[in-house]
Copies of this chain bind each other. A is one copy, B any other.
Amino acid sequence: MIDIATRVWNQRWRIDPIVRSLIDTDFYKLLMCQSVFRNHPDTRVRFSLINRSSDVPLARLIDEGELREQLDHLRSLSLTRGESTWLRGNTFYGKRQMFRPDFMEWFETMRLPPYDLQRVGDQYELTFEGSWPEVMLWEVPALAILMELRSRAVLRDMARFELQVLYARAMTRVWEKVERLRALDGLRLADFGTRRRHSFLWQDWCVQALHEGLGSAFTGTSNCLIAKDRDVEAIGTNAHELPMVYAALAEGDAALARAPYDVLADWQEEHDGNLRIILPDTYGTPGFLRNAPDWLAGWTGIRVDSGDPATGAETAIRWWKERGEDPTEKLVIFSDGLDVAKIEELHARFAGRVRVSFGWGTLLTNDFRGLVAGDALAPFSLVCKAVSADGRPTVKLSDNPRKAMGPSSEVERYKRVFGVGEQVGMEVVV
């Protein structure tokens, strides 16, 4: 029997919304938002969409009207009572009241600020301007909308069983990965795949499959809505936007050199334990660690998010030893371009030498490579970044020069200030 009421209700949707909740976003975004809300509530920022895969003609694939409808829908959302209750009442990393009452009061009434959308050739220019705590909340859902609209465009012409077999193949692929990962003793792995997921429902499926298939080796998801609905841990710490904006706001080279550490000093005031994770690569990992204050060596771990991950981890291990820390008590989180073979390799190399954890992103939640003609569902490298703060351009160097961004004169200045020399370029897959 079909539930007629449900069917009629569904007819009423003007669109099938991709993002249906303000907490359908990464947990670290909310942690960072709270920090920004406290420390930089009035900073004006500009975020911008950047399609690193220029061979994917987004504006030809995605209808502008549909994109606007999805973005407009997102702007109509506000935090629901249940979502607020969960954020206020849940334990995150074992801690209650992770989100302060003043932040929650602000978040409960917050609506996303306007966006600006222009078609330029075969690409979209999508930008968001306004106060940092508001604008920053656009990043993850905007990316998820673009990724899913692209998926929908490709799926639209497929027949019914063709669709079912497509998902059967994708499910089989995820499960084969799960079966390989089960063999890794002491594995700890979380889903970091919100932003570049194939679709919301697919990410939700992947999380549940990992939960059943990996048991306690699956530590949780970065996605708050899925964590809430599926009763798993919400996972994440902080990201590049903090040092990028802090750096852009810095007056002069000395302040610039200090900016990445100022971020973590602010962070340390709010968080302890597993939330004290260093993300050292924004302006080059070697220089960051070389010049780091001693208190940072006491932090719990490091997230390796660009460059060769084994090199990054070895650098961290050497640094901890130099600072008199025991690496076996430290946590290394790998989160860049992971797939099973890479996870196996890193696990084999580092398990026992440090505590290892994996934040598995796009190749968990969007591995449809090879499954349709022309590989039209293959994931691609779409990001949404802070490009300016209070009118000053941001810069990112990264441990992979192909991920660098910012005006070239500023890039040169940052390289000088942070002592970045030769870097090895690596292909950016996702």
* Interfacial chain B residues near A213, Cβ < 8 Å: 161-162
Q: Which one of A159, A167, A175 has the greatest number of beta carbons of chain B within 10 Å?
A: A175
* Interfacial chain B residues near A1, Cβ < 8 Å: 3, 5-6, 9
Task: Give Cα A213–Cα B161 distance, bound, in whole angstroms.
Answer: 8
Query: A289 on the interface (CB 8 Å rule)?
Result: no
Smallest Cβ-Cβ distance to A174: which chain B residue: B165
Given the known inter-chain contacts A1-B3, A3-B3, A6-B3, please indicate yes or no for A212 contacting B161, CB distance below 8 A.
yes
Q: Mark A1-12, 1 if CB is under 8 A from B, else 0.
A: 111011001000
Query: A119 on the interface (CB 8 Å rule)?
Result: no
* Interfacial chain B residues near A175, Cβ < 8 Å: 161, 165, 168
List A170-225 residues whose CB lies under 8 Å from chain B: 171-172, 175, 208-209, 212-213
Query: A96 on the interface (CB 8 Å rule)?
Result: no
Q: Mark A138-177, 1 if CB is under 8 A from B, else 0.
A: 0000000000000000000001111011011101100100
Q: Which one of A1, A3, A161, A167 has the greatest number of beta carbons of chain B within 10 Å?
A: A161
Minimum Cβ distance to chain B for residue A265 (Å): 43
Docked-complex contact A167 and B168, CB < 8 angstroms: yes
Task: Give Cα A167–Cα B167 distance, bound, in whole angstroms.
Answer: 11
Task: Give Cα A322–Cα B420 distance, bound, in whole angstroms.
Answer: 89
Given the known inter-chain contacts A3-B3, A6-B1, please indicate yes or no for A172 contacting B161, CB distance below 8 A.
no
Interface size band for A: 20 to 34
Please tell me which one of the listed residues B3, B161, B165, B172 contacts residue A165 in the complex, with CB atoms under 8 A apart.
B172
Docked-complex contact B160 and A165, CB < 8 angstroms: no
* Interfacial chain B residues near A212, Cβ < 8 Å: 159-162
Task: Give Cα A159–Cα B212 distance, bound, in whole angstroms.
Answer: 8
Q: Mark A342-357, 1 if CB is under 8 A from B, else 0.
A: 0000000000000000
* Interfacial chain B residues near A168, Cβ < 8 Å: 167-169, 171-172, 175
* Interfacial chain B residues near A208, Cβ < 8 Å: 161
* Interfacial chain B residues near A2, Cβ < 8 Å: 3
Minimum Cβ distance to chain B for residue A158 (Å): 10
Minimum Cβ distance to chain B for residue A81 (Å): 20
Q: Pull 27 A–B residue pairs with CB atoms less than 8 Å apart, ordered by A.
A: A1-B3, A1-B5, A1-B6, A1-B9, A2-B3, A3-B3, A3-B6, A159-B212, A160-B212, A161-B175, A161-B208, A161-B209, A161-B212, A161-B213, A162-B212, A162-B213, A164-B171, A164-B209, A165-B171, A165-B172, A165-B175, A167-B168, A168-B168, A168-B169, A168-B171, A168-B175, A172-B172
Minimum-distance CB pairs A-B, first 8 = A3-B3, A168-B168, A168-B171, A165-B175, A161-B212, A1-B6, A161-B209, A168-B172
Q: Supply 17 further A-B pairs (C-beta < 8 A) apart from A161-B175, A165-B209, A168-B169.
A: A1-B3, A1-B5, A1-B9, A2-B3, A3-B3, A159-B212, A160-B212, A161-B209, A161-B213, A162-B212, A162-B213, A164-B171, A164-B209, A165-B171, A165-B175, A168-B175, A169-B172
